[in-house]
Each structure stands twice: as structure tokens, then as C-alpha cells.
Amino acid sequence: MLSNRHRARLRGFGRKLFNTKKHCKRFDGDCLSLADVPEPMHATIYCNGDITTIERGLYLGVMIKVLRNDITEPNIIVAVGDARYVLDRRVANKIRVRIGD
Amino acid sequence: MNKRPTIALAGNPNVGKTSLFNALTGARQTVGNWPGVTVEHKEGLYLHAGQEYRVIDLPGIYSLSAGSPDEQVARNFILTEKPDLVINIVDASNLERNLYLTVQLMELQTPMMLILSMMDIAKSNGLEIDIMHLQSHLGYPVYPLVLNKKPDLPALKTSIQHSLLNPAFPGIIHYDEIVEQSLTRLDTALLPTIPEEVNLRRWTALKLLEGDPTIAQKVPPVILEAVAKETKAISAHRRQNVDAVIADDRYGYIRGLTKDVVKRQALSLHTFSDRTDKVVLNSYLGLPIFFFVMYLVFLIAVRFSQPVIGYIDAALSYLLVEQLGALIALTIVPEWLRFLVVEGIGGGIVTIGTFIPPIFFIFVSLSFLEDSGYMARAAFIADKFMRRVGLPGKAFIPLLVGFGCTVPAIMATRTLESKRDRIFASLLTPFMSCGAKLPVYTFLVMIFFPQRADLVIFSLYMSGVVMAMVTALLLKKTLFKTEPGNFVMELPPYHLPTLNGILLHTWHRLRDFILRAGKTILMVIVLINILQVITIPDPFTRRTAADQVQPRVPILEVGGKLITPLFYPMGIKSDNWQASVALISGIFAKEAVVGSLQSLNREPGASVEENIAAKFGGWSSTFAYLLFIVLYAPCVASLAMMFKEHGTRWLIFTVAYLTALAWVIGTLFYQIVNFNTGSWLWIGVSAAIAASFYLILSYSGRNTDHAIK
């Protein structure tokens, strides 16, 4: 019988072994992560599965502007319409955008 | 219309909802909690044309997805209480994002009215909104307003009255064809469950498609099977999760609407806030500005409050102690009653009165920072170092609120998304010296360090912050090993807060504080006075053959003397038992420490301050004592809140950890400053306590059942 501790370790090992990088369903190779967009570039949201950010206005097709993206910082600042958001780099990494458009 | 119609105010955070609530209700408002949750509930009344109206200020939310307690509260209120009118306050300068909540409110099919706030900012940003056109699209009244300036209240109240008399129900939002087809099928399936209300059926179907867990619990399993089938079909068709599809479609509707009603005169590439943020959030200047602002808050609280404390103390002492004492002396009342009324209640009120100025200035400063929009920037700046200690930057806001009071600070951790972050931040809030500790610092520091009082007080505050960081690092390495939650936060535009808004905000907090803490302080002071009068035979003095009777001492003195040896390593000598008793009273309310020290050190021949100075002996024992006060267990109100939010386990941890840490730090400080050979023993004991805590936490963290995710 495995202890909880060993069960958790085994689960972690399994996740590492079978984890393949999954792109979003709309991924077509022509987009990049929002966290990789340099400031002060404009970008259009191409794929976003995070409901929290969608509800704040980062929906498909909206144009955003990266106001601050310093790789030494854990967050980026984006302008969405007239709103300004601080986005965690981990959240920004999951949002796919196309530069310009 | 109802006898007393209920109006609910709903809107995004920072849109001026509370300003409107204050403008409508004025001082006729009550603040409490929503039942079962620690989300603030604000309710008020106003009169217009002989009719009384009840206004509910719902929490500021971005959506009605029920993802957070705030959203749940707002949604449940509209669904179950069925208000007569929902006033949706919308920021005109950020119409598109704000209309998302509007669309969700429209889906609830309640009578609505829309208020466009911040019309002045929208105008300065070059936005022109065709209000009549917007009204015709939405199907209910739209009212433009500039909430920072004094609004035309009679006209607004008349509009509200008109909306109540002629309720306008919003139109239905149409989704993508595939979603509409699914909604129709689910609508039919839901017919036996919700037979009467067509609109509620459509809304329930929509929520089921969005995967709302609360709604899913309320429908039969057969419907959930149908929902799963529909969800799969939509997801395959749109290559997106259904909740994202629905949110996108809502934005599709909003985008069409705004294109139709908003004209952008000039493209505002960089607003005033953007330009200010270039400086305030600058990589090099941001942090110094942040520390300067924090220092300014304490400087204001200490410097501005000092002269006011003197006036309040003199005025209240004259009225409630001298004059009341003289008046009672004229009547035939027993001495104990005179003592209780004058020294106990009168003296207690004087003590409470002296706390008000520093707390008032702390609350004014915090309200100013919140209302101006700087608080969110501070959270962004703090995020860099908060991450290093295992917390998201958003956790900085509850910590900052902790400088006002620990109770709302623990409540404010509710804004954090993950349970891990909420518990973690709550554990750190007591380290932020609350407003109640300030009178204690001020009182003792003015006796021992009158020349550099502000610097010493600031160092006490900073020592709390430093210990919070050390604790956070310890917890990050042991109990909270996982990553902090995601940080998504809006940077609201900078506002010049209104004096009325700040004062009302401050007043609510101060009133709550005085009522809550005042009662406890009065009780503690009266209890201390009673325990000081009741005497028992002195167990510390041996009766000699010459003594006829055993000498009697107050019960409080015996209790104090019993626990004083515990504080001996911090420099508290056995004759200073008053300091130990004051620490116990501080568990009830921190300010009670001052009251206890004052009432216990009243001895003939010298002033209270002189007696305290003589008993503490020197600055090092006083500073060690102050360090103990900075760090030891928070007051009962905070502990009750901790229990309510996180349960018994974390309550016990808070009390044990903080008190042990306070003792260790106080002892280390005193022993290092007054180093001698005996100091090694106490330094060793302190190190052993610290090591034990580390080992216990490490062990708990290794056990996956105890680790917090």
C-alpha cells in the first residue's frame, strides 16, 4: 500500500513522463504568446481560454497594446481599450496573439 | 410600487458605485456582512417625495460568473431577493469592459436602469456617447453622471422613481446560432424543472452551458447529460471551451453596441494615468516612491495626531474625570461606585478618545491611496518582492489594510483567488502594526524616545514588516511550497478623491473600529479596576512571627507577578508586573495596553509617565517590550475573524507562532543589547524555540495532507 507521500510522487512522475506541450485548439503556428510581445507593440488576441481575462475584455479579436514587458518582472502591463491590466506572466503565456493586425 | 422599494447598485470596481451610494443615502447607512460570508454588506435609506427607498450597495464585480464570493453574493441577491430596480453603474470612459456585467445583468431579466459615471473622463479621453441611442438599444433608461462632482440628486431620484413606477425589462441577447440551438433544446429539457419562468429557464440553460457548478447542483442528472452533449457539440464547432464561447459572444454584442453608440473624437494613446505611471511604476523610481508614500502615511499619522491627542486628552479628562468626579463627590454614592464610574468608565473613555486621532489619520491616508488609484500601483510594485516570499502582489493590499486594522485586512484576503494565498496572506496581516498599536507605540516612545519618536515608531513598523517577510520565507519553504496564484489586476485611472468620499470612507471604518474596540477597551479597563480593588493574601510574602495578619495585595498584582518571570529575559523585572498585565489586556484590544499601563501605574508622588519610566528602567527593555507588542498574538476580534475564515487550526497556529516569535525577538534584542555571560542561556533558548518551529513546519509541509495547495 503506497503512502500519500509516495502516491503524490508517483503522480508527479507520471505527469512529467506523459506531459506533452499542448497548444490551444486554434493554434496554427502563426501566433505567439502575449508574454513574448515586446513593448510598445500592438497585438490582436487570437486564442484565449482563460475566462477571467476574457471577462475583463481580452476576448478573441480585440486589439491590445503591451505597455510594459520587462523580462525581469513577473508581470506585464497591457492596455485593452481604455482599461489597463497587470497580467501575470503565467497567464500571458497562455494567451496567443498576432502582432499588429 | 412596493411600500419601501429595494434598489440594488451593481457595477465593476472603481466606477463610483460607493460615491453614488453615499450621495443617495448620506449618513443613513449601515455596514455589515452578507450572511455566511465576510463580504461587506452596505445598506442605506433615502427619502424622496415622501417615499422611503432602500438601497443595497452590491460588491464591485466584473461578472456574475459566481467565481468569487463577491460575485456569488451579488448574483444570489438579485435572484433571490428580486430587487425592484437594479441600477447598473457603468464607467463611461471604459464602456466596453463595463458593459460585460451589464449584459449579464440583462440576462437575469430584472428591471434595470443604467448610470453612466465618469462622463468627464470619457469626454477628456475624446469619447462621445450617444445616450439616447444606447438607451434605445438596451431598452431601459440611461442616465449620465459625473460622480466626483456633486450630482443633481433630485433629478436622479426622480429618474429612479420613474424607473420604479414604469419598470423597463431589458431585451434578450442573442448568441451564435449553435449556442442558440443548444439553448432552445436545454430550455425544453428544463421545462418540467422550471415550468413558470421562461427567462429564468434561458438563464439557467446558459449557466449550465457555462459550467456553473452552483446551478449544476440544482438540476436533475438527466439534464446534466444533455448539457454535456451540447457542450461537446459547441466546443467542437467553435474550437473553444463553451464558457469562452459565450463570453466571446457577449463581447461580440457589446462591440457592435459600442461601435454604434460611441464616437471617438481623438485617439487617446496615452492618458494622464499612462503618463503618470511612466514615473510611478518606473523600474528605478517606483520603489523609492513607494517607500516614500508609505513613510508619508506614518509621518502624517504620528505628526498630525500628536497635538490633537493632547487636546482630546485634556478636554475629556476635564469633563469625564475631573468634573464628573466632582459631581459624583457631591452625591451620596459608595466609593467603589465612584471609582468605577470616574476611574473606570470615565478614564476608559479618555483612553479611547486618545486613540482616535492616529487611527483617523491612518484611515484617511489609506482611503486616499485607495480612492486615488495608487493602491493598485503599490500592489504592482510590491509584486516583485512579494513573489520572492511566495505571495502574489495582490496580497499586498490586505497587508496594507492591516496597517489600519487586522480584521478588515483578513477580510480583504478574500480578493485573492486561491485558498493558499488567502491563508498565507491572512497569517501575515497581524505583522502589520494596526492602528490600535499606534497609541501604544506613541505612548511609550514619547516617554523614552521623545526626540526621535517618529523614527522609532517607523522602525517598529518596519520590524513588523521584516518579520512578516522572514515568516513568509519560512512558510514558503515549509507549508506553502506551491506557486502563488495568478495575478490579474486592473490599474484604475488616477482620480482626485473627493473630500466627502474620503471622510465617509474613513468615518465608516472609524465608527466600526470605535464601537468594536471601544466596548472591549471599556470592559478591560473596568475589569482591571475591579481586579485592582479586590485583594487576596499575598502569596509572594512569607508571614513572619511578628505579623499579625497576612499582608493582602490586589488579585491583579498576584496574577501579574505570576507571569512576569516569563518576560524577565526581555528585561521586564518582577516589580514591573503592570507591564505583564497590560500585555494580557492587549489580547482583548491592543489599545488596552495603554489604558492598563496608565491605570496600573497611578501612584501618589509621581506622574504615570515617571512611574512607567522608573519601572522599565532603560530604553532597551522598553524597546524589547515594544517589539513584543509588535509581534505577539493579535486581538480577539482578529482571532475571531481568523477562525471564521480559516478554522481552528490556523487560529491556534497564529496565536502560538506569533507569541513565540514575539518572545524570541524581544529576548534576543534585550540580551544582545545588554550582553553578559548569562545572555548565552537565553540566546540558546530562543534558538531552540526557533529551531523547533522550523522542524515542526518542515515536517507538516512534507506531509502532503498538511501542505496547502
Between residues B520 and B708, the one the model is more confident about: B520
Cβ-defined contact of B281 to A54 (cutoff 8 Å)? no
Task: Please give the average per-residue pLDDT across B543-561, as a whole number.
Answer: 72
Final residue of a structural domain among B97, B132, B165: B165
Cell of B57: 450597495
Nearest chain B residue to A65, by CA: B269
- Res B457 pLDDT > 70: yes
- Rounded CA-CA distance B532/B535 in Å is 7
- B469 pLDDT band, cuts 50/70/90, is very high
- Res B561 pLDDT > 60: yes
Mutate to test the interface with A, among B14, B70, B95, B97 (most CBs of A within 10 A): B97
Query: Is residue B331 located within the same domain as residue B360?
Result: yes
Strand residue runs (E) in B173-322: 262-264
Query: Is residue B291 located within the same domain as residue B381?
Result: yes
Looking at residue B537, what is its pLDDT? 79
Task: Please give the average per-residue pLDDT across B177-202, as a whole number.
Answer: 82
Cβ-defined contact of A84 to B277 (cutoff 8 Å)? yes
Task: Please give the average per-residue pLDDT across B642-655, as a whole number.
Answer: 87
Task: Please give the average per-residue pLDDT across B194-199, as a whole number.
Answer: 70
Q: Ranked by mean pLDDT, which of B43-52, B363-372, B625-634 comes out on top?
A: B625-634
Query: Is residue B189 located within the same domain as residue B157?
Result: no
Cβ-defined contact of A56 to B62 (cutoff 8 Å)? yes
Query: Is residue B184 located within the same domain as residue B317?
Result: no
- B521 pLDDT band, cuts 50/70/90, is low
Looking at residue B120, what is its pLDDT? 83
Cβ-defined contact of A82 to B244 (cutoff 8 Å)? no
Task: Please give the average per-residue pLDDT across B238-259, as a whole number.
Answer: 88
- Res A1 pLDDT > 70: no
- B544 pLDDT band, cuts 50/70/90, is low
- Res B32 pLDDT > 80: no
Q: Is residue B707 situated within a structural domain?
A: no
- Rounded CA-CA distance B351/B325 in Å is 16
**Residue B160, domain CATH:** 3.40.50.300
Task: Please give the average per-residue pLDDT across B191-216, as a whole number.
Answer: 81
Task: Please give the average per-residue pLDDT across A19-39, as a whole number.
Answer: 71
Cβ-defined contact of B93 to A82 (cutoff 8 Å)? yes
Query: Is residue B109 located within the same domain as residue B213?
Result: no
Q: Is residue B492 situated within a structural domain?
A: no
State the smallest CA–CA distance between residue B399 and chain A in angstroms: 19
Query: Is residue B184 located within the same domain as residue B300?
Result: no
**Neighboring chain A residues of B271 at a CB cutoff of 8 Å:** 82
Cβ-defined contact of B248 to A77 (cutoff 8 Å)? no
CB B482 within 8 A of CB A12: no
- B489 pLDDT band, cuts 50/70/90, is confident
Looking at residue B531, what is its pLDDT? 75
Query: Is residue B161 located within the same domain as residue B207?
Result: no
Q: Is residue B490 situated within a structural domain?
A: no
Looking at residue B284, what is its pLDDT? 86
Nearest chain A residue to B12, by CA: A56
Looking at residue B426, what is its pLDDT? 92
Nearest chain A residue to B383, by CA: A74
Q: Is residue B709 situated within a structural domain?
A: no
- Res B123 pLDDT > 70: yes
Burial grade of B542 (CB within 10 A; 0-12, 13-18, 19 or more): exposed
Query: Is residue B191 located within the same domain as residue B159?
Result: no
Looking at residue B323, what is its pLDDT? 87
Q: What's the Cα-to-Cα distance from B479 to each of A7, A24, B423, B471, B473, rounded to whole Å?
A: 19, 33, 11, 11, 10
Fold of A23-99: SH3 type barrels. (2.30.30)
Instruction: Please name which of B666, B701, B704, B706 lies closest in space to residue B686, comparing C-alpha atoms.
Output: B666
Looking at residue B631, what is its pLDDT? 93
Q: Which of B45-59, B438-452, B479-493 has the lowest mean pLDDT?
A: B479-493
Query: Is residue B507 located within the same domain as residue B524?
Result: no
Looking at residue B687, what is its pLDDT? 94
Mean pLDDT of chain B: 83
- B25 pLDDT band, cuts 50/70/90, is confident
Write the CB contacts of B347 (distance below 8 Å, at least 6 apart in sequence). B320, B321, B525, B595, B598, B599
Write the CB contacts of B495 (distance below 8 Å, at least 6 apart in sequence). B148, B371, B372, B373
**Neighboring chain A residues of B94 at a CB cutoff of 8 Å:** 81-83
What sections of B373-479 are H helices per DSSP? Answer: 374-388, 396-401, 406-412, 419-428, 437-448, 453-477
**Neighboring chain B residues of A86 at a CB cutoff of 8 Å:** 376, 379-380, 383, 393, 487-491
Report the percentage of chain B scoring pLDDT > 70. Answer: 91
Number of domains within chain B = 4
Q: Which of B293-302, B313-322, B620-629 has the lowest mean pLDDT?
A: B293-302
Cβ-defined contact of B281 to A52 (cutoff 8 Å)? no
Q: Which domain holds residue B463?
A: 280-484+501-512
- B18 pLDDT band, cuts 50/70/90, is confident
Cβ-defined contact of A26 to B240 (cutoff 8 Å)? yes
Q: Is residue B491 situated within a structural domain?
A: no
Query: Is residue B341 located within the same domain as residue B430?
Result: yes
CB B649 within 8 A of CB B640: no
- Does the pTM of the predicted model rise above 0.90? no
Nearest chain B residue to A85, by CA: B490
Query: Is residue B158 located within the same domain as residue B257?
Result: no
- Res B253 pLDDT > 70: yes
CA distance from start to end of chain A: 57
Query: Is residue B441 located within the same domain as residue B302?
Result: yes
Cell of B59: 460588491
B360-407 per-position pLDDT tens digit: 887 788 788 888 888 888 888 888 888 888 888 878 878 877 887 787
Cβ-defined contact of A83 to B94 (cutoff 8 Å)? yes
Phi, psi of B129 (to 5 degrees): -105, 125
DSSP lists the bridge partners of residue A88 as A75
- B547 pLDDT band, cuts 50/70/90, is low
Between residues B634 and B346, the one the model is more confident about: B634
**Neighboring chain A residues of B376 at a CB cutoff of 8 Å:** 86
- Res B473 pLDDT > 80: yes
Looking at residue B1, what is its pLDDT? 61
Cβ-defined contact of A86 to B702 (cutoff 8 Å)? no
Q: What's the Cα-to-Cα distance from A63 to each of A45, A51, A101, B97, B274, rounded to whole Å?
A: 7, 17, 8, 13, 18
Between residues A101 and B133, the one the model is more confident about: B133
Report the percentage of chain A scoring pLDDT > 70. Answer: 77
Task: Please give the average per-residue pLDDT across B286-312, as a whole number.
Answer: 80
Nearest chain B residue to A52, by CA: B488
Cβ-defined contact of A74 to B383 (cutoff 8 Å)? yes
Q: What's the Cα-to-Cα distance from B569 to each of B563, B655, B672, B695, rounded to whole Å?
A: 12, 20, 11, 24
- A25 pLDDT band, cuts 50/70/90, is low
Looking at residue B474, what is its pLDDT? 92
Of A48, A75, A85, the CB nearest to B383: A75
State the smallest CA–CA distance between residue A19 and chain B in angstroms: 19
Final residue of a structural domain among B165, B191, B209: B165
DSSP lists the bridge partners of residue B88 as B10, B114
Looking at residue B270, what is its pLDDT? 72
List residues of A whose CB lies inside 8 A of any B CB: 4-5, 8, 25-26, 48-49, 51-57, 59-60, 62, 67-68, 70, 73-75, 77, 79-88, 90-91
- Res B351 pLDDT > 90: no
B87-120 per-position pLDDT tens digit: 999 988 888 889 999 999 898 888 899 999 888 8
Phi, psi of B89 (to 5 degrees): -90, 125
Final residue of a structural domain among B165, B186, B217: B165
* Strands B85-91 vs B40-48: parallel, antiparallel or unpaired: unpaired
What sections of B78-170 are H helices per DSSP? Answer: 95-107, 119-124, 131-138, 153-165
Cβ-defined contact of A86 to B384 (cutoff 8 Å)? no
- Res B509 pLDDT > 80: no
- Rounded CA-CA distance B401/B412 in Å is 8
Looking at residue B546, what is its pLDDT? 61
